[in-house]
Amino acid sequence: DIQMTQSPSSLSASVGDRVTITCRASESISNYLNWYQQKPGKAPKLLIFAASSLQGGVPSRFSGSGSGTHFTLTIGSLQPEDFATYYCQQSYDSPWAFGKGTKVEIK
Amino acid sequence: QVQLVESGGGVVQPGRSLRLSCAASGFSFSSYGMHWVRQAPGKGLEWVAVIWYEGVVKDYADSVKGRFTISRDTSKNTLFLQMNSLRAEDTAVYYCARADRGSPLEYWGQGTLVTVSS
């Protein structure tokens, strides 16, 4: 089974900061990597699919890159509404898997 | 618009069974793969099961294999998760979500809470 390793598990940042979250797959998943944002008490929301494609309605400050086993999610200029937990997820092969999440907190 | 609404959660004793439902609307239900994803209190997301669009091929996380069964009723546009031999570690919010092979989980329900406790 493919394992997803996400880092860091948490980070503190200020409004306006550039934030980068990393996700590594235990084997190559091509570009079958998706990123989700989750706020407390809410269902996850799709941000990025196929490693670098921005989901409709998602602000352009969010971007994704990578292929194979190494991927990143970047928030170009952190906004107050971006404080949340972020998850990567592979859709390359079943069983699908999520990373353990990165909690972005206010510094 | 696509809508997914879960139901059936509640408090159940260890070893007992529960069936979750997910009512789908706004899209051709039989044309898409459907998934269950869960989240234990204060923990991350865990993929649980999938039934692919043709309705025949299913897959499960190792943690639920042999205990949980995913199914669907295309005449009622409803997805199910039959959960047997429940354990305390199955306590979680259960979400249904739509995604085909290789695609992201684009649409999610609001979730239903299952609590396994004596």
Choosing among A30, A36, A46, which should be mutated to test the B contact, i.e. which has the most B CBs within 10 A? Answer: A46
> For residue range A93-106, what is the model confidence (pLDDT) as tens digits?
999 999 999 999 98
Mean pLDDT of A38-47: 98
Choosing among A94, A102, A103, which should be mutated to test the B contact, i.e. which has the most B CBs within 10 A? Answer: A94
pLDDT, residue B55, reads 85
Asked whether residue A107 carries a pLDDT value surpassing 90, the answer given is no
From chain B, the residues in CB contact with A32 under 8 A are 102
DSSP-derived secondary structure for B44-93: -EEEEEEE-TTSS-EEE-TTTTTTEEEEEETTTTEEEEEE-S--GGG-EE
Q: What is the dihedral of CA A91, B61, A44, A10, to 10 degrees?
A: -90
> Which residues of chain B have a pLDDT value below 50?
none
| Residue A96: burial class (beta carbons within 10 Å; 0-12, 13-18, 19+) | buried
From chain B, the residues in CB contact with A100 under 8 A are 44
Band of residue A1 on the pLDDT scale cut at 50, 70, 90? very high
- Could you tell me which chain A residue has the CA closest to the CA of B98? A46
pLDDT, residue A106, reads 87
Instruction: Say if CB A44 and CB B105 are below 8 A apart.
Output: yes
pLDDT, residue B46, reads 98
pLDDT, residue B25, reads 97
